[in-house]
Amino acid sequence: MSNKKNIVVWFSCGAASAVAAKLTLDKFGTKYNVIVANTPVTEEHPDNIRFKEDVSKWLGVPIIEIRNKERSSSCVDIWKEDGIMSTIKYAPCTKVIKKQARYNFEEQTNIYLNVLGFTVEEIDRHLRFVVNERYNHLPILIANGYTKQMCFEYLQREGIKLPEAYKYYPNANCIGCVKASSPTYWNKVRKHHPEVFEERAKQSRELNCKLVKYKGERMFLDELPINAKGGKLSSVECSIFCDVV
């Protein structure tokens, strides 16, 4: 039995967490037991599965799945069961599917360091995670000066095709992420994944949840003008740390 300490890289099926896993394995793989873990969500783009398999082969290690065995892995189910889709501070899907799965895993695994895919643009997210979640975060991308664009370029040089979701959105999160309030984002969903937009619009009405903010006012998705735009889209973090934008 190995006496090596455990470093867990939380892989979110995004480019940054893939590069974070590679850097962690390269630098610490001999001295520590590096575990690459993923908390899958039903509503993710189906190409995320392909990306995860490609990254696992590239890294040369399995990417293990961590699930909350007491609840569904579907955001739609969680919203229905909990009667809420999102608040200003958090989304229940992240709390149940991501965070609780991690908490359960932590009870069984002695984790020396956690690694998330925070890039240099996200130092504030790293600091909030350290203060509000776990002090033992290794900011490997930040320490090595990696931006999100650098992560994209790294994978492309290695011949790893990026997730299909990046063609439409600034992240590889679930399609129709309820942590987003940007009218630009939601009209992108309406254009590229209309069936998801309709599903979110219907459920948000049922649960009385106004997901989008336009001209300073919260509104239901079916009230959003089809040509409405907001500011530049930013990335919404959805790994084991929920950040509402």
pLDDT at 28: 97
User: How many CB atoms are located within 10 Å of the residue 71 CB?
Assistant: 17
pLDDT at 242: 47
Residue 155 CA from chain centroid, whole number: 18
Residues 132 and 103: their CA atoms lie apart, in Å, by: 14
Q: Which residues sit opposite 9 in a β-bridge?
A: 36, 115
User: How many CB atoms are located within 10 Å of the residue 99 CB?
Assistant: 18
For tokens 């998801």, the residue is 196
Domains and CATH numbers, the chain: 6-73+90-164 (3.40.50.620)
> Can you read off the two tokens belonging to residue 166?
């990046």
Number of helical (H) and strand (E) elements in the chain, helices listed first: 10, 6
pLDDT at 39: 96
> Can you read off the two tokens belonging to residue 135?
């002090």
Residues in the chain: 245
- For the chain, the C-alpha Rg in angstroms (whole number) is 18
Give, for all 245 residues of the chain, the pLDDT tens digit.
468 999 999 999 999 999 999 999 999 999 999 999 999 999 999 999 999 999 999 999 999 999 999 999 999 999 999 999 998 778 999 999 999 999 999 999 999 999 999 999 999 999 998 888 888 899 999 999 999 999 999 999 999 999 999 999 988 989 999 999 999 999 999 999 999 999 999 999 999 999 999 999 999 999 999 999 876 665 544 544 444 33
Sequence-distant (≥ 6) Cβ neighbours of residue 55 within 8 angstroms = 11, 18, 21, 63, 160
What's the order of all strands across the beta sheet hosting 111-115? 63-65, 33-38, 6-10, 111-115
For tokens 């609840």, the residue is 71
Give 137's DSSP letter. B
Element (H, E) at 164: none
Give 89's DSSP letter. S
Residues 211 and 42: their CA atoms lie apart, in Å, by: 20
